[in-house]
Amino acid sequence: MSEFVLRAQGVSKVFDATHEHLQVLQGVDIEVEAGEFVAIVGSSGCGKTTLLHILGGLATPSAGEVRLMGMDFSRLDERDRGRLRNLHMGFVYQFHHLLPEFSAQENVAMPLLIRAMPPAMAMELAAQMLARVGLAARLRHKPAELSGGERQRVALARALVTQPAVVLADEPTGNLDDYNARAVHALIMELNEQLGTSFVIVTHERALARQARRVLGMRDGRLEEQMDV
């Protein structure tokens, strides 16, 4: 198995806009080790989210490759890519994307149910993960009955319930007030240390980026080590 849980080499992305080609990424390389916490920072529109989507197999690169757990993730068909993603990867977005008609526990159990895990087992593991993020008393609450910070904790629990090798997070605190953003910052750090799950986080929050083991800056479609945040 590769020593890197996630590795991208020479990744470029070109979009066909009206009368021109728009190159968003140019030969991006990134390697993420087990248990590592990497932050990606940069101005709006510089390509951070596009890179995260390619790393997560939600978009395909125009050139280059992405390897997840040593497998050439970017060249798998959609079915196999989805299966590998479900096994080894979790996602957290700026907006929680919880299913409104389901409880917190049911939302967290969903990735396990997709794996065809027996429902009773999936619900038990979901309850354990919600307890881990401080929401043991909110299992049966639907998203509309939770605060913004609580909804984002549910989203984190959902991303982690499958025990993924890596979690990709796109502005995970961007929609929260300062108090809840700090709480989610602390929770991400705690889970990274306790569970050994790698995190790759796109963020404009300097406080969160400073806590990362590595900070990468994106500019003109390229990544570089960021010394000052």
Which of 228 and 91 is assigned the larger pLDDT? 91
Whether residue 68 is contained in a domain is answered as: no
pLDDT at 226: 67
Whether residue 15 is contained in a domain is answered as: no
Range with lowest mean pLDDT among 4-8, 9-13, 88-92, 221-225: 221-225
Q: Is the pLDDT at 227 greater than 60, yes or no?
A: no
Q: Is the pLDDT at 130 greater than 80, yes or no?
A: yes
Whether residue 9 is contained in a domain is answered as: no
Using an 8 Å Cβ cutoff, are 129 and 160 in contact?
A: yes
The domain spanning residue 201 has which CATH number? 3.40.50.300
pLDDT category at 131 given cuts 50, 70, 90 is very high
Please, what is the average pLDDT of the chain?
86
Domain coverage including residue 41: 35-61+77-225
Cα-flanking dihedrals φ and ψ of residue 108, to 5°?
-70, -35
Q: Is the pLDDT at 47 greater than 80, yes or no?
A: no
- Which pLDDT tens digit goes with each residue over 178-217? 887 888 888 888 888 888 889 999 888 777 788 888 899 8
Whether residue 26 is contained in a domain is answered as: no
User: What 8-state DSSP symbol labels residue 99?
Assistant: -
**Euclidean distance between CA atoms 86 and 104, whole angstroms:** 19
Q: Is the pLDDT at 23 greater than 80, yes or no?
A: no
Whether residue 16 is contained in a domain is answered as: no
Q: What percent of the chain shows pLDDT beyond 70?
A: 94
- Which pLDDT tens digit goes with each residue over 58-74? 888 888 999 998 888 87
- Which pLDDT tens digit goes with each residue over 137-171? 999 999 999 988 899 889 989 988 988 899 998 88
Whether residue 45 is contained in a domain is answered as: yes
Beta strand residue intervals within 49-119, DSSP E: 63-68, 71-72, 89-92
Closest alpha carbon to 194 in 158, 225, 163, 228: 163
- Domains: count for the chain: 1
Whether residue 23 is contained in a domain is answered as: no
pLDDT category at 1 given cuts 50, 70, 90 is very low
What are 170's strand-pairing partners?
202
Using an 8 Å Cβ cutoff, are 92 and 102 in contact?
A: no
pLDDT category at 19 given cuts 50, 70, 90 is low
pLDDT category at 17 given cuts 50, 70, 90 is low
Q: Would the pTM count as exceeding 0.75?
A: yes
pLDDT at 213: 85
pLDDT at 48: 84
Whether residue 3 is contained in a domain is answered as: no
Q: Is the pLDDT at 121 greater than 50, yes or no?
A: yes
Task: Give, in order, the Cα–Cα distances in Å from 135 to each of 119, 140, 197.
Answer: 20, 10, 20
